[in-house]
Amino acid sequence: MSDLANGTTPAQCRPPRDRDRSLTPGVSGTPAQSRPLPGRSTAGAPRPAQPVDGAILTLTDVHIGAGGREFVRGVSFTLRPGGVVGIVGESGSGKTLTCRAALGILPDGFAVTSGTVAIDGRDTATLSGREWTALRGATISAVFQDPASYLNPSLTIGSQVAEVLRVKLRLRRRAARARAQDLLASVRLPDVYGRYPHELSGGMLQRALIATAIAAGPRVLIADEATTALDVTVQAEILDLLADLRDTTGLALVVVSHDLAVVAQFCDEVLVMRAGEVVEQGPVEQVLYHPRHDYTRLLIDEHESYGLDRFLGVRNAA
Ligand SMILES: Nc1ncnc2c1ncn2[C@@H]1O[C@H](COP(=O)(O)OP(=O)(O)OP(=O)(O)O)[C@@H](O)[C@H]1O
């Protein structure tokens, strides 16, 4: 199974783009929490997040660089329990690097050059490797596109979920097995414990990966293009599942998507990134329905390809 599951540092021996598989997943057990109103900035322009009581994840003016070049310049947001922050923007705009900074798994040579990433009020720059390992999976976790590449093809789905439970929560074999079965049922996969990854569809694999990602009861889940490769119906099922987890456990989410419709339906706040910068940020209703920046308008004007229309009615009806 992926190193992620074990919470090990991603990828000590993988090529850079292959590294996020070490991010594995984790159990729940996250106590149900009330859902405070997510923080919403009112200005259209990006601005630094302020430390806020109850925040689980706070990025404050984060810059990410490598080899003397800056790839991300000044990302800030605050995520509280049950909150959902969306990140949209063109390919290469820095969305994934931002997520990786939050997970402490930047590619080799990349670093947060200024600004802070705080998890549960703690500046992650002060964390040791061991502390990061403990945090990953248990407090912050992630799912990415292409779930098959994060699961070991030669191990059953159930044993991979159980392995996370044994490593991260130190459950004994029998307890881990029972808990893994519960987790798989909670992601609507009640009958796949003994099945292998190749026996599952793409949507089922993504749900299995979500089960491993939430196994250790993280409070933040980063979904980086997690539904991009799925057809629309399966994508809606996965989003429903994430919404259920948010509502029942207070899980906070960072959702990276090319699909403005996903963001319109699902997120409270959205960051629009372009060429490493946040060009616009604010509550979804404001940014997507009353954009202030030309680039945001451009994205919205392309709504036919993004399918924004699909969700306007859904959100307005909700
Ligand atoms: N491992 C890496 N090695 C070299 N450059 C990288 C690496 N990861 C990211 N970059 C560069 O950093 C910039 C931002 O990349 P990032 O993956 O964050 O973009 P993105 O917005 O997530 O794009 P996409 O939507 O295509 O995934 C790009 O110019 C990319 O080429």
Cα of 298 vs centre of ligand 1, distance in Å, is 21
C-beta of 144 in contact with ligand 1 (< 6 A): no
Cα of 24 vs centre of ligand 1, distance in Å, is 21
Residue 285 tokens, joined: 């209703």
Residue 276 tokens, joined: 């490493």
The pLDDT, as a whole number, for residue 46 is 44
Q: How far is residue 79's CA from residue 62's CA, in Å, rounded to a whole number?
A: 15
**Structure confidence at residue 17 as a pLDDT band (50, 70, 90):** very low
Pairing relationship of beta strands 110-119 and 140-144 according to DSSP bridges: unpaired
Q: Which atom of ligand 1 is nearest to the CA of 107?
A: 1
Residue 306 tokens, joined: 């993004």
Cβ atoms of 27 and 181 within 8 Å: the answer is no
Q: Which atom of ligand 1 is nearest to the CA of 97?
A: 18
C-beta of 97 in contact with ligand 1 (< 6 A): yes
C-beta of 93 in contact with ligand 1 (< 6 A): yes
> Which structural domain range is residue 163 located in?
3-317
Task: Using alpha carbons, list the distances in angstroms from residue 164 to 7, 108, 183, 245.
Answer: 8, 25, 12, 19
Q: How far is residue 162's CA from residue 141's CA, in Å, rounded to a whole number?
A: 16
**Structure confidence at residue 99 as a pLDDT band (50, 70, 90):** very high
Q: How many domains does the chain have?
A: 1
Torsion of CA 39, 42, 47, 53, to 10 degrees: -20
SS3 281: strand
C-beta of 100 in contact with ligand 1 (< 6 A): no
Nearest one of 62, 210, 89, 95 to 142, comparing CA atoms:
210
- Mean pLDDT for the chain? 82
Cα of 97 vs centre of ligand 1, distance in Å, is 6
pLDDT tens-digit profile of 243-273? 989 999 999 999 999 888 889 888 999 999 9
Nearest CA to ligand 1 atom 3: 16
CATH number at residue 75: 3.40.50.300
Residue 106 tokens, joined: 């930047």
Cα of 312 vs centre of ligand 1, distance in Å, is 30
| Test site for ligand 1: of 71, 100, 106, most ligand atoms within 8 A of the Cβ | 71
Cα of 255 vs centre of ligand 1, distance in Å, is 17
**Structure confidence at residue 171 as a pLDDT band (50, 70, 90):** very high
C-beta of 71 in contact with ligand 1 (< 6 A): yes
The complex's ipTM?
0.97
**223: DSSP letter:** E
